[in-house]
Amino acid sequence: MSTFISFILAIISSMLIDNVVLSRFYGICPFLGVSRKVKSSLGMGIAVVFVIILATCICWPIYTYVLVPAGIPFMDTVAYILVIASLVQLVGLFIKKYSPALYKTLGIYLPLITTNCAVLGVVQGNTDQGLTFLNALANGVGTSLGFLVVIVVFSCIRVRLESANTPKAFKGLPIALITAAIMAIAFMGLQGLFSGIKL
Amino acid sequence: MKREKGQTKKNFLKGIIQENPLLVSILGTCPALATTKSLEAAIGMGILFTIVLLCSNVLISLLRKLIPDEIRTPAYIVIIATFVTMVKMFTNAFLPELYSTLGVFISLIVVNCIVLGRAEAYASKNGVFDSFIDALGMGVGYTLSLCLLAFFRELLGTGGFTFGQIFTFIPLTKLIIPGAEKFAISLFQTPAGAFIVFGIVLAVVAFIKNRKAELKAFEAKQAKLKAAEEAKAKLAAQQAQGGQQ
Amino acid sequence: MSQTEYLIIAIVILVILAVTFIVSFVLYQRTPKPKGCEDLKPSDEKCAGCTNDACAFYKEKDSVESIEKKEEK
């Protein structure tokens, strides 16, 4: 199988089968918190996609070509969080300076991406599992797209939930979590997606 | 500075009940869902989390006058990341089973909102001892709520509890309710089960909160009515007195 | 290259990363907000479900609520 097809398959598998929010539990906070409005959750999702892909591209070489030869692979977490935090600040700086329209929709939530587990989780998982650069990139792209899909779908459902007649104790977060559980069950159905294809 | 009596106890207990980081403030949900498959993993995660929170809170509280205000957040992130790295190395060396079970989630303590939140909200403004107690309360509260989730998930998912798989220094013991494993619902071991259990626990917490608020409102109303009645009676008595004169 | 040289390079890179973070953080804080965005407030629609008190915005939301409470009294 050509590299390209396996790259695409790896993206799809980390996007749908092993979904970042529903089966790996990264980024639950923004998933539950900032997803009432479809538009703002779309903005947040795209920002996360951007940061995850950039962070993967920077962190993997730092680990492989700097930390491992130097004999200090245990410094990975510190290096990653520094890379992610500076990336978020730089992207925020850029938006603040050159794109007031974008700043208006998501600028204020941008600093929160630093504490989004999805970014650090993906980057750390890539090197913990010893993936090659291409696989790491596929994992990054797939995971972030999975985050985007789930957060947008969930915000659509939540708009409906607002007007639904739920028991008083379940109003707000509890019913959102139950909804997420049903979504997780639905995504479990995708597990056999590649069973016919030899990878 | 004079200390009020019982303030330390209050400070400690608030992290467990009133301001429980997971069940009341709903922070740190990622590890709460991912590491509660078994009671043992939840206890391990809680202990590691508490250690990081204690160390970072104490150090930040010690350095709170040295760190310039403008670069506070970067400094906190670096301090927390350093402690997490240390905890990670110790776990890898002494409890490799715990390390492999928790995996990435040990590193993810760095971005846990609770640690950074406590540093910003408490340790940067209070003394070392207070910060230590605050961190201890928050850590214990978080551990207990993780155990609560893991208790239901393991009990419903496997029909009992298994100890000794992760903490290998205790002998392997299985506490299974006789006949219960036939009725185990394996859904509760999957991610979907985690969401369901967490949702229901939060609903119970919300129910208790609503109940308390209603009771308070009811009492306030009763007190108001009583006061109004007393005032009326007083007025009537005054009027009667005026009539006699 | 020897191990020590690699180590020195790694430490230099880590220090560069830390400096980049601090400089970009300070720059971000000091950059004035663009026109029309000076008084962005947390909307209940977006923030109601979130309780992240590490978020600078959460405190603002808190203070807004407390001000409203005071006004009610």
Where exactly are the structural domains of chain C? Answer: 1-33, 41-73
Return the partners of chain C (3 or more C-beta pairs < 8 Å). Answer: A, B
Distance of alpha carbon A37 from alpha carbon A54, whole angstroms: 26
Task: Decide if pLDDT at B18 tops 60.
Answer: yes
Q: Where are the domains of chain A?
A: 20-192
Q: Which amino acid belongs to residue B15?
A: G
Query: Which is more confidently placed, A105 or B47?
Result: B47
Q: What percentage of residues in chain C have a pLDDT greater than 70?
A: 47
The per-residue pLDDT for B86 is: 94
Task: State whether B30 and A115 contact (CB < 8 Å).
Answer: no
The per-residue pLDDT for B57 is: 93
Task: Decide if pLDDT at B165 tops 60.
Answer: yes
The per-residue pLDDT for C47 is: 55
Task: State whether A82 and B78 contact (CB < 8 Å).
Answer: yes
| Residue C57 near residue C47 (C-beta atoms within 8 A) | yes
Distance of alpha carbon A195 from alpha carbon A149, whole angstroms: 23
Which residues lie closer than 8 Å to B77 by C-beta, 6 or more apart? A81, A82, A85, A114, B110, B116, C21
Helix (H) or strand (E) holding B175: strand B173-176
The per-residue pLDDT for A182 is: 92
**Model confidence band, residue B6 (pLDDT cutoffs 50, 70, 90):** confident
The per-residue pLDDT for B222 is: 92
The per-residue pLDDT for A104 is: 74
- Which pair of tokens denotes residue A74? 């245990």
Chain C contact set for A62 (CB, 8 A)? 13
Chain A contact set for C57 (CB, 8 A)? 108-109
> Which residue of chain B has the CA closest to C50?
B26
| Residue B139 near residue B14 (C-beta atoms within 8 A) | no
C12-48 in b/e burial notation, b at 16+ Cβ within 10 A? ebbeebbebbbebbeebeeeeebeebeeeebeeebbe
**Model confidence band, residue C68 (pLDDT cutoffs 50, 70, 90):** low
Chain A contact set for B204 (CB, 8 A)? 169
Task: State whether A89 and C9 contact (CB < 8 Å).
Answer: no
Helix (H) or strand (E) holding B173: strand B173-176
Interchain contact A174–C (C-beta under 8 A): no
Distance of alpha carbon B136 from alpha carbon A8, whole angstroms: 47
The per-residue pLDDT for A140 is: 92
The per-residue pLDDT for B1 is: 47
Task: Decide if pLDDT at B160 tops 90.
Answer: no
Block mean pLDDT (10 aa), chain A, length 199 = 83 85 83 71 84 93 91 90 92 84 72 83 91 91 91 85 84 86 89 67
Nearest to A106 by CA among A165, A47, A49: A47
Task: State whether A23 and B74 contact (CB < 8 Å).
Answer: no
Chain C contact set for B74 (CB, 8 A)? 18, 21-22, 25
Q: CA-CA distances (angstroms) from residue B156 to B41, B76, B180? A: 16, 40, 9
Distance of alpha carbon A93 from alpha carbon A88, whole angstroms: 8
Task: State whether B196 and A22 contact (CB < 8 Å).
Answer: no
DSSP B124: T
The per-residue pLDDT for B226 is: 93
pLDDT single digits (tens) C32-61: 877 766 666 655 555 555 555 545 555 555
Query: Which is more confidently placed, B99 or A41?
Result: B99
The per-residue pLDDT for A176 is: 86
Averaged pLDDT of chain B: 88
